[in-house]
Structure 1
Amino acid sequence: MASSFLADVLIILAAAVILVPLAERLRVGAVVGYLAAGVIIGPGGLGLIADVEAPQAIGALGVVFLMFTLGLEFTRERLRLTPAGVYGLGIAKVLVTATALATAAAYAGFDWPVAVLIGASLALSSTAIVLPVLGDIGKLTVPMGQLAVTVLLLEDLAVGPILVLVETLGRGDGPLWLALGLAVVKAAAAIAAIVGIGYLLLRPLFRLVAGVRSPELFAGTVLLVALATAGGTELAGLSMAFGGFLAGLLLAETEFRHQVAADVEPFRGLLLGLFFMSVGMSVNTGLLAGQSTTILALAAGLMVAKGLIVLLLAMAFGSPPGRALRLGGMLAQGSELAFVTFGAAAAAGLMEAEEAGVLIAMVAVTMMVTPVAVKAGMRLLTRLERRGVGFAAELAGEVLDVRRHVIIAGYGEIGAIVARMLKAYGVPYVILDLNPERVRRGRASEEPVFFGDATRPEVLQGVCAGDALAVVVATDAPGVAEALAAIRRHQFPELPMIVRGGGEADVAGLRRSGLIPVGQEATDTGLKLTGAVLDLWHDLDGEAPG
């Protein structure tokens, strides 16, 4: 048993190592590589992996961590400021799309209750596909990307009622409206309980764990919180992915969010890749080959219908045509929920097994096509805009304006001096520190202090290092300067990094590493670090601020 499990793991890893780099070289994206790897090694391909249930179950955690990291980017204030029309678009997208697709299913010969189930299942889009694609093309933080994210979050709230619909239709007893009403009440109570407990316990818990100074324990606590919240929402009839988002949303209000995001990143990437491979494994290639014309026609019809509906609804709710067009293309695929609902419907006798197989294959095709289609569409729109066609003026407003801030590593005596001086000169800054007590004191003084390891590239990316004016290393902890020199060399070659120097030999070594060293006495060092930053500011503006 153990050897069989090990063999499956080795096959999965080998397929990913071979096909994902190939997909990247072909410029179709890693998602397509994972999906293709799953098809090849799965039961419908070479049959190297016979049982796909275990990879599917483990891979689903990748979606949880994906939504968890997304939740870390949100705050209550950000949700409050989201225009009401965005929420209206998400609700309308589910209702209008479900109605249109249910009508089409009824016209195709399905009974109305089953047609409603089909319409509702196909109305949702794939969070697991859309978010990585948005990240790959650099659109996750622009208005179109944020609009897609909000719509996907609202769709996750529909998972519970759809699962209840499957169960109630399968049993054939009890009024449907009562079952759906109870599901909504149960879900609302669960969300309220999770949010309440989270606000009371999460910050004290992470302060306690951070005080132990154990990176392994901190990472374990992050996993515990994310998975426990996901399990709670699943028990309440909602998706595990929505639970992951709730956990991230709660931690987004704390000073630990950047370190949390860095710790969960390796798990997210690995498990999400496994999820995509499990989707590929679920494709019935025999059925796809035998009914390829039907399946491909249904997949194309579904994507065109959903894309048009989203395009028209987005424009109706005030989105410019270019953004609406991109959003329609982004949300045109089916959702991973369809694998569950159609499989359960076939098991309950609500539809034939072959019908369920065709629908599942259709959804899998739309998910596999989306990364390639979106990237090709974006390239086409870019070419048109370069020729003066399309929506170039609209794109100008889609670029984030988070630039020219200073990242201070360490909030001890020197870090505090640097922060005070930068504030006096009006230079924006963010502070990273691994001492939870210093972080707590700083935040109590309304300083932008976050718990995070500045020698982790993921943490630096979380505080927008790519757009920063400089990094100021205000700590003399061993190894920090060397680690930052390596990060600068490989990931941020244009980012100035100003560090505390020592003797002449140390200063020379730091300079050879591409860092900017200054003196050692605390007050003198703090002033010199600040002076070096202001020199950079002066070079950009032509005159020092203030």
Structure 2
Amino acid sequence: MLPRVQLHVLILLVFSVVAVVALQRMRMPSSLGYLLVGALVGPHAFGLVPDVEHNRVLAEFGIVFLLFTIGLNFSLPQILAMRNLVFGLGTAQVGFTTIVVGVGAWLLGHAPETGFVIGAVVAQSSTTIISKQLIEQGEDQSRHGRLGVAMSVFQEITAVPFVVVIPVLGMASGSVAAPLGLALLKAGAAFVLVFLAGRWMLRPLFHEVAGRRSAELFTLTVLLVSLVAAAITQSLGLSMALGAFLAGMMLGETEFRHQIESTIRPIRDVLLGLFFVTIGMLLDVSALPEIWHLALAGAVAMLVAKAVLVFFIVHSAGVNRATAVRTGAVLAVGGEFGFALLAIALDSQVLASDVAQVVLMAVLFRMLIAPFLIRYNAAFASRLVRRPVLATNGVAHAGDAPPGQRGHVVICGYGRIGQNLARFLEVERIPFIALDMDPARVRDAHAAGMPVFYGDASERDILEAVGADHARLIVISHDDLGAARKVLQQVRASRWPVKVMVRTRDEAPLAELLELGATEVVAETVEASLMIAAHVLLMADVPTPRVLRRIRAAQANRYQHLHELYRSDEPALGEADQDPGQDRLHAVEVVAGSAALGQLLGALALGDCRLQALVRAGERMLHPSPGLKLEAGDTLVLFGTPDSLGKAEASLLARVASTEPESAPMREDTQ
């Protein structure tokens, strides 16, 4: 018999896997699956898993890591640089929605703090749902798509003050002015403390940790920093999520942010799933027959209020009516952060249990209905503005995206070759982002203002973070063949329409890398030999155009002639790993009495080998005529595998009874 806790974990895992798979097949957000799991297995339905305290504690860490990753994406300089948008449309949308919905709830008889919480919940939208569905519809680069995604992302920043305010509403017995002022002072103190720690401690700490090249140590450090920051704000009487957000914002300024986000994402997703399960456990399914009409009406009211308010805010900013309507439809979707605010409000006892049931179900209905608004936003706009509206606004140009995030070059490895590539790209004003695993190199380059970040390019999350899915080219400039294979597998598995160039030490893995999906493979030793050959030819007074033609021909043929090398029986220094079965060149001299003597080149039985040249009397003929008759002393240059070369040589040099050459007629030389 399994212990009770283990049984509960297994039940949650089984139901979660089934629910998430089912929701993803229907192209619905996974968070809805977790909510449904919580509602079904919780104490108000089947009662398979009790709503115990340790589940809530773990679920709270899901909110902590959610805010931590949000902070990573918005560093302080970035927020200041985008203050017009942050404090413009984003703040207006959150502020007006909270006020209008809150006043409406107050007029319906709810307490002011309850109305405030409901308004704050309605103000949130799901960036995940919005961005994913817009991409599927091909509208992610349309004007309403960019506006919707930008405003939903900035909601997450402007909503952070709610994390400070809502707990105060639950603690205040009279006027909230003094407790709120004290909370804001504490939040300011926490910001200063985390800011100073980020400036003086976090960057040196992560440089030291990254220098150890230990993924385990890096993960532990990320967990430590996020939880310490959360503990600091909690000790000040504030939310743990606020401290995590501040820590993430400070680390967002460093060159480690992409690797940190990739490291924390699996942990965050698992704990966030548990958070949604615990929220689902709060849903009283037995009360659904009594309150479903209130919840459905509330969901419709939330959708309409949010869409109308967004329309007026966007339209007043100078955007045309059709785009404003479509933006409102996009932003009407409910958001995961709204559930986080509900959880904080419930813990702070700001919401009564009966009101919480209606709001929870209303938000759930809203998340179920709203995706259809996004899918048919063009049809809604056509009806409201009374003119046809195209389903998409066309494909945007690369310049419409933020700099360095579309149409750029991703350089994997910022060593000698990567840095030289970056210089050429910089001169040509081609945007690029480089990734490297050497913290000292990344630190120096980042300090010099270069877009170089610490991260493992073989991880899909890292590639997505630097916009590899929208890049014009990925260059694998390091010589780690195993890592190059992983990058190619990630790119091709994701079906990103991006070219990939791979640098290798030599030409041995060329065929394998091309098969894995590389667009071009550049062998360092071969290119070096081409460069040396070019200089030699130029110094030998060969005309420059002819030299260029020779080099280009060799490159166009994928270095075919340069692959054809003479191999020694004992590998030289640095060639210990050469493939003994690899194709090679081999010279066979025709001697008196051999079977090949007097035969025509075109009639030779060479098997799988290929004739590359013929040497006669010291003269090398690269393209000898098939009608040329072999003479004693001729040397045949053959190309093939060691086995095929051995068979061909045995056939050519086989002894015959007569040493007189057969009198075959000479054919005309076709050269």
TM-score (norm 2): 0.69
- Report what 1:69 is aligned to: 69
- Report what 1:544 is aligned to: none
> CA deviation digits over 1:309-356, x for unaligned, max 9?
45444544666523651365135895443344356548xxxx8xxxx2
What letter matches 2:195 in structure 1? V
- Report what 2:374 is aligned to: 378
Question: Is residue 124–residue 155 contact of structure 2 (8 Å, CA) maintained in 1?
Answer: no
What is the distance in 1 between the residues matched to 2:401 and 2:268? 25
In terms of fraction of residues, the more helix-rich structure is: 1
Q: Which moved more, 1:116-125 or 1:77-86?
A: 77-86
- Report what 1:144 is aligned to: 148
Q: Aligned with 1:125: secondary structure?
A: helix
- Report what 1:456 is aligned to: 459
Q: How far did 1:495 drift?
A: 2.6
Question: Is residue 404–residue 469 contact of structure 1 (8 Å, CA) maintained in 2?
Answer: yes
What letter matches 1:400 in structure 2? A
- Report what 1:366 is aligned to: 362
What is the distance in 1 between the residues matched to 2:413 and 2:95? 50
> CA deviation digits over 1:415-469, x for unaligned, max 9?
2222223333333222111011111222233322111111111111111111112
Residues 344-363 of structure 1 mapped to structure 2, 5 A cutoff: 344-345=348-349, 356-363=352-359
Mind listing any 5+ residue stretches in structure 2 that lack a counterpart? 533-547, 553-671
Q: How far did 1:181 drift?
A: 1.9
Question: Is residue 505–residue 525 contact of structure 2 (8 Å, CA) maintained in 1?
Answer: no
Q: Aligned with 2:484: secondary structure?
A: helix
Q: Aligned with 2:524: secondary structure?
A: coil
Q: Aligned with 1:48: secondary structure?
A: coil
- Report what 1:539 is aligned to: none
TM-score (norm 1): 0.83
- Report what 1:261 is aligned to: 261
What letter matches 2:154 in structure 1? T
Q: Which moved more, 1:304-313 or 1:469-478?
A: 304-313
- Report what 2:205 is aligned to: 205
Higher relative contact order (CA 8 A, sep 6+): 1
Question: Is residue 59–residue 278 contact of structure 1 (8 Å, CA) maintained in 2?
Answer: yes
Query: Is structure 2 residue 136 aligned with structure 1 residue 132?
Result: no
- Report what 2:431 is aligned to: 428
What is the distance in 2 between the residues matched to 1:123 and 1:105? 8
What is the distance in 2 between the residues matched to 1:222 and 1:26? 35
What letter matches 1:195 in structure 2? F
Q: Which moved more, 1:247-256 or 1:364-373?
A: 364-373
Query: Is structure 2 residue 491 aligned with structure 1 residue 510?
Result: no
Question: Is residue 89–residue 151 contact of structure 2 (8 Å, CA) maintained in 1?
Answer: no
What is the distance in 2 between the residues matched to 1:261 and 1:48? 34
> CA deviation digits over 1:14-67, x for unaligned, max 9?
111111111111222322222212211111221111124433332232233233
What is the distance in 1 between the residues matched to 2:120 and 2:195? 25
What is the distance in 1 between the residues matched to 2:497 and 2:298? 49
What letter matches 1:220 in structure 2? L
- Report what 1:481 is aligned to: 484
Q: How far did 1:142 drift?
A: 2.9
Relative distance call for 1:316 and 1:234 in structure 2 (3 A) is farther
What is the distance in 2 between the residues matched to 1:343 and 1:201? 33
| Structure ID, larger Rg | 2
> What count of residue pairs does the alignment treat as equivalent?
514
Q: How far did 1:86 drift?
A: 4.1
Question: Is residue 129–residue 371 contact of structure 1 (8 Å, CA) maintained in 2?
Answer: no
Structure 2 residue aligned with 1:159, among 149, 156, 163? 163
What is the distance in 2 between the residues matched to 1:381 and 1:83? 29
Residues 305-344 of structure 1 mapped to structure 2, 5 A cutoff: 305-316=305-316, 321-322=324-325, 324-326=327-329, 328-330=331-333, 335-342=339-346, 344=348
Q: Aligned with 2:244: secondary structure?
A: helix
> CA deviation digits over 1:341-377, x for unaligned, max 9?
356548xxxx8xxxx2321112211332233322100
What is the distance in 2 between the residues matched to 1:4 and 1:459? 39
Query: Is structure 2 residue 447 aligned with structure 1 residue 439?
Result: no
Q: Identity, % of aligned pairs?
A: 32
What letter matches 2:442 in structure 1? V
Q: Aligned with 1:362: secondary structure?
A: helix
Q: Aligned with 1:262: secondary structure?
A: helix
- Report what 1:49 is aligned to: 49
- Report what 1:178 is aligned to: 178
Q: How far did 1:213 drift?
A: 0.9
Relative distance call for 1:400 and 1:60 in structure 2 (3 A) is farther
Q: Aligned with 2:474: secondary structure?
A: strand
> CA deviation digits over 1:140-169, x for unaligned, max 9?
993322222323322221332332222122
- Report what 1:15 is aligned to: 15
Structure 1 residue aligned with 2:469, among 454, 466, 469? 466
What is the distance in 1 between the residues matched to 2:529 and 2:227? 44
- Report what 2:626 is aligned to: none
Mind listing any 5+ residue stretches in structure 1 that lack a counterpart? 536-546
Relative distance call for 1:67 and 1:146 in structure 2 (3 A) is farther
Q: Which moved more, 1:490-499 or 1:380-389?
A: 380-389
Relative distance call for 1:95 and 1:415 in structure 2 (3 A) is closer
What letter matches 1:251 in structure 2? L
What is the distance in 2 between the residues matched to 1:406 and 1:390? 32
Question: Is residue 284–residue 357 contact of structure 1 (8 Å, CA) maintained in 2?
Answer: no
CA RMSD of aligned residues (A): 3.5
Q: How far did 1:221 drift?
A: 1.0
Query: Is structure 2 residue 34 aligned with structure 1 residue 34?
Result: yes
Relative distance call for 1:264 and 1:58 in structure 2 (3 A) is same
- Report what 2:555 is aligned to: none
What letter matches 1:372 in structure 2? L
Q: Aligned with 2:332: secondary structure?
A: helix
Question: Is residue 422–residue 432 contact of structure 2 (8 Å, CA) maintained in 1?
Answer: yes
Relative distance call for 1:485 and 1:304 in structure 2 (3 A) is closer
What letter matches 2:401 in structure 1? L
Question: Is residue 230–residue 241 contact of structure 1 (8 Å, CA) maintained in 2?
Answer: yes
Question: Is residue 43–residue 49 contact of structure 1 (8 Å, CA) maintained in 2?
Answer: yes
- Report what 2:251 is aligned to: 251
What letter matches 1:130 in structure 2? S
- Report what 2:60 is aligned to: 60
